[in-house]
Amino acid sequence: MKNSTKIQLGQHGPFVTKLGLGCMRMSSIWGGVTPDETESIATIREALDEGINFLNTGDFYGAGHNEILVGKAIKGRRDEAFISVKFGAIFHNGHWLGMDLRPIAIKNFVNYSLTRLGIDTIDLYQPSRMDDSVPVEDIIGTVADLIKEGKVRHIGVSEITADQLRLANRIYPISALEIGYSLADRQIERELLPTARELGIGVVTFANTAEGLLTGELTAPLAENDYRNHFTRFQGENLLHNLEKVEFLKQLAGQKGCTPTQLAIAWVNRQGDYIMPLVSMSRRSRLPENIAAMDIVFTTEDMNSLNATFAPGAILGGTYLQR
Ligand SMILES: NC(=O)c1ccc[n+]([C@@H]2O[C@H](COP(=O)([O-])OP(=O)(O)OC[C@H]3O[C@@H](n4cnc5c(N)ncnc54)[C@H](OP(=O)(O)O)[C@@H]3O)[C@@H](O)[C@H]2O)c1
């Protein structure tokens, strides 16, 4: 992976690795046990060894736990890591309590994040969502103030509309858009992706495996205690229909000598040089497989059949990515 392809975040923004490491699942977000911390830290360090420098966290991932973990992992290696932090969502014990995007709150959040991460400046700071309680101008304007104060380097946004993206970018140049995107969730291709491209904004995409659907490892029905049972995509007839689609992914993976997960990541990667797959990996054993996915080459026939099988709307039901 070392010296691999880079992606520029924003027209004049920084270059980072085209594969990003999502740290969210190293903490308990939806309740439940915290994954093995030693393994999580080792995964981040091994990713850095491999040259992956983009690390994604949020102050609400485990109510600060995730930032502390990332802080421990990058200790003594600050220059090798590009730290992306989301703020604004309030979670407790696996429950989402709402958003707080008030300027005074943002100015408070950032100090806690810097302390937990053990760094002086956050490379990319982004509201995790917008809401109607605070104007976009105030949210982006506040992060722009943090840049002047030296606490933040670049501004990103997450899960917003094309109109909000244009507005935010008028207030201050936006470096990155973080957004859910996969073979199973292609709604953003209509308006948001073209808008980001037009504005020269890097697109950091998460949920490339669509909550594990595209790993090819799921069987119906899911275990009773599986959190995905809440999403209509994983319920009853929808799940059966969706797993049939995944059979095609498995077949193609078999023909190409790779795994369905690798194809899912590779497909996102091939959507453009301004698009980064941001993949959750909480154990070192994931790294070789997902790094190798970045080198997968598709024939025109591969691409046509993937795009036809997973045409927008082909996967039934949704997840929390309701747009
Ligand atoms: N902005 C937002 O609203 C938002 C929302 C969600 C996530 N994110 C960010 O995006 C990152 C990725 O999102 P995500 O976790 O939803 O999606 P994801 O990358 O598709 O990960 C989903 C699951 O896939 C597993 N996985 C990874 N590599 C695999 C492989 N080779 N084979 C089989 N399974 C594999 C991971 O397991 P392990 O963890 O066990 O390795 C993880 O549980 C997060 O870490 C977070 O930083 C942002």
106's enclosing H/E stretch is: helix 103-117
Q: Is 283 in the pocket of ligand 1 (CB under 6 A)?
A: yes
Q: Is 173 in the pocket of ligand 1 (CB under 6 A)?
A: no
Question: What's the pLDDT band for 189 if we cut at 50, 70, 90?
Answer: very high
Q: What is the pLDDT of residue 92?
A: 87
Asked if residue 68 belongs to a domain, the reply is: yes
Exposure on the CB side of residue 148, measured as CA atoms within 13 A: 8
Q: Which atom of ligand 1 is nearest to the CA of 178?
A: 1
pLDDT tens string 104-126: 999 999 999 999 999 999 999 99
pTM score, whole prediction: 0.97
Structure tokens at 137: 């101008």
Structure tokens at 185: 């969730």
Asked if residue 183 belongs to a domain, the reply is: yes
Question: Quick one: DSSP state of residue 144?
Answer: H
CA angle centred on 274, ends 157 and 214, rounded to 5°: 85
15's enclosing H/E stretch is: strand 15-17
Q: Is 24 in the pocket of ligand 1 (CB under 6 A)?
A: yes
Asked if residue 322 belongs to a domain, the reply is: no
CA distance 319 to 211: 8
- In contact, 205 and 179? CB cutoff 8 Å: yes
Is 61 annotated as catalytic? yes
Q: What is the pLDDT of residue 125?
A: 98
> What mean pLDDT value characterizes the chain?
96
Q: Is 66 in the pocket of ligand 1 (CB under 6 A)?
A: no
pLDDT tens string 78-88: 999 999 999 99
122-127 and 82-87 as β-strands: parallel, antiparallel, unpaired? Answer: parallel
> How many domains does the structure of the chain reveal?
1
Asked if residue 220 belongs to a domain, the reply is: no
How would you label 83-118 residue by residue, b for 16+ Cβ within 10 Å and e otherwise? bbbbbbbebeeeeeeebbbeeebbeebbeebbebbe
Residue appearing with tokens 């670049």:
154
Nearest to 87 by CA among 35, 34, 151: 151
CA distance 260 to 246: 8
- In contact, 176 and 196? CB cutoff 8 Å: no
pLDDT tens string 121-170: 999 999 999 998 999 999 999 999 999 999 999 999 999 999 999 999 99
Tell me phi and psi for residue 107, to 5 degrees. -65, -25
| Residue 124: exposure state from Cβ atoms within 10 A (0-12, 13-18, ≥19) | buried
Nearest to 82 by CA among 23, 145, 158: 23
Give me the mean pLDDT over the 28-56 stretch.
94
pLDDT tens string 264-313: 999 999 999 999 999 999 999 999 999 999 999 999 999 999 999 999 99
Asked if residue 37 belongs to a domain, the reply is: yes
CATH code for the domain of 168: 3.20.20.100
Domain containing 272 equals 6-211+259-298
Asked if residue 289 belongs to a domain, the reply is: yes
Residues of the chain with pLDDT > 90: what percent?
Answer: 92
Q: Is 40 in the pocket of ligand 1 (CB under 6 A)?
A: no
Asked if residue 174 belongs to a domain, the reply is: yes
Pocket test for ligand 1, best of 19, 25, 205 (most atoms within 8 A of CB): 25
* Ligand 1 atom 34, closest CA: 215
Q: What is the pLDDT of residue 301?
A: 98
CA distance 214 to 169: 33
Question: What's the pLDDT band for 60 if we cut at 50, 70, 90?
Answer: very high
Asked if residue 317 belongs to a domain, the reply is: no
- Calculated CA dihedral for residues 274, 278, 279, 284, nearest 10 degrees: 100
Pocket test for ligand 1, best of 280, 286, 287, 319 (most atoms within 8 A of CB): 280
